Amino acid sequence: MIRNYFYLIVGCLCILFAVTHTLNGMSSALPMLDNAAMAHDAKVAFTYVWHIIGVENIVFGIALLIMAFQKNQSEVRCAAWLIIALLSMRWVVITSVTLANGSSVMQLIPDTIAILVVITLLWFGTKVKDNVSDK
């Protein structure tokens, strides 16, 4: 039985983000590295960092799907707060690097919206109380 619909929704979103991030990388970003005049080691580092983000999103998604079915929501609340902290720091890094390199603030809008929606839903998920009658 689903105990926390917020975690369920965010878990599905994280898996969707992992798939779209990986497909986007494989179809557009990573092939550009073959044409770039950069060191092989830099290409390898960029490629594995790209895939680390995809795998990280899958791990978040799976963890949140499992958390959605836990009877005792207070036991998984700490994990939700940890994910919120990691996503917040991810947004800080994305914003800092984007602005430090003189890129347009408009580039930040899709990532900002996605991260804000996920963090907000997770925050609502942390407010879900345990159902005493189910214990």
Q: For residue 54, what pLDDT is reported?
A: 96
Q: For residue 129, what pLDDT is reported?
A: 86
pLDDT digits (tens, 9 = 90+) for 18-31: 999 999 999 998 88
Better pLDDT: 3 or 134? 3
Task: Tell whether the model's pLDDT for residue 11 goes beyond 60.
Answer: yes
How many angstroms separate the CA atoms of 110 and 2, rounded? 29
3-state SS string over the chain? CCCCHHHHHHHHHHHHHHHHHHHHHHHHHHHHHHHCCCCHHHHHHHHHHHHHHHHHHHHHHHHHHHHHCCCCHHHCHHHHHHHHHHHHHHHHHHHHHHHHCCCCHHHHHHHHHHHHHHHHHHHHHHCCCCCHHHC
Q: For residue 58, what pLDDT is reported?
A: 97
How many angstroms separate the CA atoms of 71 and 2, rounded? 9
pLDDT digits (tens, 9 = 90+) for 39-98: 889 889 999 999 999 999 999 999 999 999 999 999 999 999 999 999 999 999 999 999
Q: For residue 38, what pLDDT is reported?
A: 86
Task: Tell whether the model's pLDDT for residue 130 goes beyond 90.
Answer: no
How many angstroms separate the CA atoms of 62 and 7, rounded? 10
Specify whether the CB–CB gap between 77 and 130 falls below 8 A. no
Phi, psi for residue 76 in degrees, rounded to 5: -105, -5
How many angstroms separate the CA atoms of 2 and 125, rounded? 12
Better pLDDT: 93 or 132? 93
pLDDT digits (tens, 9 = 90+) for 95-127: 999 999 999 999 999 999 999 999 999 999 999
